[in-house]
Structure 1
Amino acid sequence: MPVNQTLSNFSDTAFQTAFVIYLLALVLSLVYYGKMQGVIDARRTRERVGEKELVTVGAGADDPDGRGGGGGTDGAVEDAEDAEDTALTDEEFADKEASANKWGGMTQSLVWLGVLVHVVSVVLRGLATERFPFGNLYEYVLVITAFTMAATTVVIQRREWRVVWPWLLTPILALLFFGGTELYAESAPVVPALQSNWLPIHVSTVSFGGAIGILSGIASLLYLLRIWQPKGKERGFFGAVAKPLPSAKKLDGLAYKSAIVTLPTLGLGIVLGAIWAEAAWGRYWGWDPKETVSFITWILYAAYLHARATAGWRDHKAAWINILALATMIFNLFFINMVVSGLHSYAGLN
């Protein structure tokens, strides 16, 4: 079938535009991240000042004659007085917080714009070839990153979650860069093996499951960072990095809820792929490398959910399983498709 080169060029332009918008959003999100570190420091300073006032009142009650009978309160008072010197007034703190939130709002708006342009790129690619844009690895990366960004943008609506954007945009930009440079393929008809109605059904299901899996895996990574640097007890460089993140409980909850969606979606995608395999190759399952690794990935997500609900595994042990599942999925996407020879080897080609 003929390819509309004009629409194909527009798709490429939209892809490049989305990449630039995401890159600008990453810059804004990093500024927001830094400003939130300042807001948290200011809030904690104000809290220490409040504690100093309570200590001072308590010391005065214990020693009404002012003769220094307060004992161990002297050091606490002195520390709090140091904090008072740098504490912001209510108005200054409100201005500082509003300034940070403004950067967060700009980041969110820019991400929404990027998602819109990203989806336009996917649609134009499909219109240019008069098929669903799932014919090669470039198109698959284009689609799975679009699913990831759209789903993440919907999930990250609350202000407290906006600090997660640098951690999400960085891997997405890396995927887009690699896809647009090393995996790029000109718009063209797909190979005969992919000319099936099962193509959009199977690949879109797997893409959506993988997109949610990316969100879940990153949330588990941040959860491990947060339990290593507990809220209010951060230390050193990694403590400063972790400071603006939500609590470990919230990050773990996000990873768990996302995995609950990932498991059945990937499972459905595997089943649909098996049905397609029977129609195309005369068998449902043949332990092809991609089939095998896909099944292993699904098993790992099932193991994560089981471990997450099992006493004694609800801490970092379960999170490591989720991260291993993400790593296996990425391994399947690139290494299995591009290096290992199998029935799915054509996935990297037109």
Structure 2
Amino acid sequence: QTVLVGGAGQHDQDAAPRETDSKAAAVTTGRGLTWYGSKFAQLALLTLTGSMIVRMFATGHPPFANHYEFAVSFAWGMILAQVYFEWRYRVRTLALVVLPVILGMLIYASTLSYEANPLMPALQNSPLLTVHVFTAALAYGAAVIAFGAAVMYLLAPRIKWPGWPKQDVLDELGYKAVIVTFPMLTIMIILGSIWANIAWGRYWSWDPKETAALVTWLIYGAYLHARVVRDWRGSKSAWLLVLGFAAIVFTYFGNLFFGGLHSYA
């Protein structure tokens, strides 16, 4: 009888971690909140992609002519990044931070005029404009992933949810996202300067959006330098990613307040 009692106790002890593990698995593989978030992101990506293609054929140019189209394009980049990074690194809980940001961008886009406008003269170099905005959308999308990973990293010590990713996983995920963000920002700025020279006769004007984009590029460059050369990890690098995302938000919305050559975007 003693052996049976002892065996039952051991069975209960073994069952406890299995129960915890099953809860964690349900968060990442079962039909929990994050599962539905994942499916929502995939459906949104398909729907938004189809909508942008239809709009492009209807207007005769890529959907980059006004505030509404830029907002939708950047939301598309964020959704694409969420779907890709979730598939590649299996961190489904990232949607808890990233999807609200995407939803906020889509809500903002819904408040703008969606009337199709002809391209203004400065935007009529269509191939260059398309690649410029496409790289910006990819950069912004990956930056949202880095931001989400950083926020989750900083919250991790206070979160007791068994499905929350480990800090080293989040730290590495943020780094992988910046590996996409930084080169895309670099290409965006280079193509933007070429486009500016064609449209306005000068490569750089210290326009508010140009300046903010340069500051953003420097922040992510500093992050990569600190990570690779000085092996910065942990809270310091996470806060740098939060700062980088704040710079992206300012870059996108700042021209609405400060004007400049990019007032249409």
TM-score (norm 2): 0.85
Name the residue aligned to 1:102. 31
**Percentage identity across paired residues of the two chains:** 35
Name the residue aligned to 2:107. 177
Shift of 1:158: 6.7
Amino acid at match of 1:222: M
Partner deviation per Cα, 1:214-268 (whole Å, 9 max, x = no partner): 1112111111222xx1xxxxxxxx424x542211111011110110111111111
Among 235, 247, 260, the residue aligned to 1:328? 247
Cα distance in 1, alignment partners of residues 37 and 163 from structure 2:
16
Name the residue aligned to 2:174. 255
Segments of structure 1 that go 5 or more residues without pairing to the other structure are 1-52, 58-80, 230-237
Partner deviation per Cα, 1:177-212 (whole Å, 9 max, x = no partner): 01111x233112122221222221211111211111
Segments of structure 2 that go 5 or more residues without pairing to the other structure are none
TM-score (norm 1): 0.66
Shift of 1:269: 0.7
Give the number of the structure whose alpha-carbon radius of gyration is greater.
1
Does 2:61 align with 1:142? no
Does 2:192 align with 1:273? yes
Name the residue aligned to 2:48. 118
Name the residue aligned to 2:159. 239
Q: Indicate conservation of the 8 Å contact 1:160/1:246, yes or no.
A: no
Amino acid at match of 1:250: V
Cα distance in 2, alignment partners of residues 128 and 202 from structure 1:
21
Cα distance in 2, alignment partners of residues 292 and 112 from structure 1:
34
**1:1-350 correspondence to structure 2 within 5 Å:** 84=12, 101-103=30-32, 105-157=35-87, 161-181=91-111, 183-197=112-126, 198-226=128-156, 229=157, 238-240=158-160, 243-311=162-230, 313-336=232-255, 338-347=256-265
Partner deviation per Cα, 1:159-186 (whole Å, 9 max, x = no partner): 95122222111111011101111x2331
Partner deviation per Cα, 1:266-286 (whole Å, 9 max, x = no partner): 111100010111111111111
Shift of 1:213: 1.2
The 1:282/1:219 distance shift into structure 2, 3 A limit, reads: same
Q: Indicate conservation of the 8 Å contact 1:215/1:255, yes or no.
A: yes
Shift of 1:108: 3.0
Cα distance in 2, alignment partners of residues 254 and 142 from structure 1:
25
Q: Indicate conservation of the 8 Å contact 2:66/2:117, yes or no.
A: no
Structure 1 vs Structure 2 CA RMSD: 3.2
Cα distance in 2, alignment partners of residues 118 and 320 from structure 1:
31
The 1:315/1:131 distance shift into structure 2, 3 A limit, reads: same
Amino acid at match of 2:186: G
